[in-house]
């Protein structure tokens, strides 16, 4: 009798955990997603402001980057640029500006491309942040060969470390010309 009670208790506990996990994570959807996610990874604000990207390839010697809407934009192949530095410790990470050791550089910003999710990480390393962001934006526009409108559709984060600015650290400041950007 005691063995039966123990087995029954274990079955009830395992079943309860299963139901809990099912409720927590839900059933996987078998229907295709009708619309792409509105922003990168679900944690960035939608900074597109309802405008649409130019998805017509304009560059013959370039590469395609997937946007937050799931479309692709043709950009210059910045990985072939001699100024682009591949991070030897992180495969698929490319510094378009700034370099690997951002804390010990003389650069006012760093631009990192992460190939796995086709995103850009712009780190502002110098005050005034508004001027630094403008310089970083201009360089990225030049390196990619795209418009400001197209820039708003990239998967990106513009941020600054705590040691540069305590108020804006940990926030996505956005590109200054995109809807939803933080005014600096």
Per the prediction, the chain carries an average pLDDT of: 81
Say yes or no to pLDDT of 169 above 70. Answer: yes
Identify the H or E element spanning 180. Answer: none
Give the span between the Cα atoms of 97 and 110, in whole angstroms. Answer: 5
What percentage of the chain reaches a pLDDT higher than 90? 60
Tokens representing residue 166 in the block: 């305590």
Q: How many domains does the chain have?
A: 1
- Do the domain assignments include residue 51? yes
- Do the domain assignments include residue 32? no
Q: Which domain holds residue 67?
A: 40-159
- Do the domain assignments include residue 29? no
- Do the domain assignments include residue 7? no
- Do the domain assignments include residue 31? no
Say yes or no to pLDDT of 179 above 70. Answer: yes
Say yes or no to pLDDT of 32 above 50. Answer: no
* Reported confidence tier of residue 18, pLDDT bands at 50, 70, 90: low
Region at 98 (left for phi over 0; alpha for psi -120 to 50; beta for the rest): left
DSSP reduced 3-state for 158: strand
User: Which CA distances in Å does 18 have to 21, 25, 68, 73, 100?
Assistant: 5, 11, 34, 43, 45
Give the span between the Cα atoms of 94 and 78, in whole angstroms. Answer: 9
């Amino acid at each position: 009798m005691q063995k039966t009670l123990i087995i029954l208790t274990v079955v009830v506990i395992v079943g309860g955990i299963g139901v809990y996990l099912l409720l927590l994570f839900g059933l996987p959807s078998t229907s295709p997603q009708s619309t792409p996610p509105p922003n990168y990874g679900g944690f960035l604000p939608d900074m597109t402001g309802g405008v649409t990207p130019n998805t017509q390839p304009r560059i013959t010697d370039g590469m395609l980057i997937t946007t937050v809407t799931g479309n692709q934009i043709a950009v210059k192949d910045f990985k072939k640029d001699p100024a682009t530095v591949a991070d030897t410790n992180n495969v698929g990470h490319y510094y378009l500006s700034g370099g690997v050791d951002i804390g010990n550089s003389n650069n006012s910003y760093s631009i990192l491309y992460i190939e796995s999710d086709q995103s850009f990480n712009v780190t502002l390393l110098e005050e005034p942040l508004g001027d630094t962001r403008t310089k970083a934006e201009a360089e990225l526009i030049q390196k990619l060969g795209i418009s400001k409108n197209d820039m708003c559709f990239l998967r990106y984060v513009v941020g600054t470390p705590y040691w540069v600015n305590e108020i804006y650290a940990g926030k996505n400041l956005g590109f200054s010309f995109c809807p939803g950007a933080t005014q600096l």
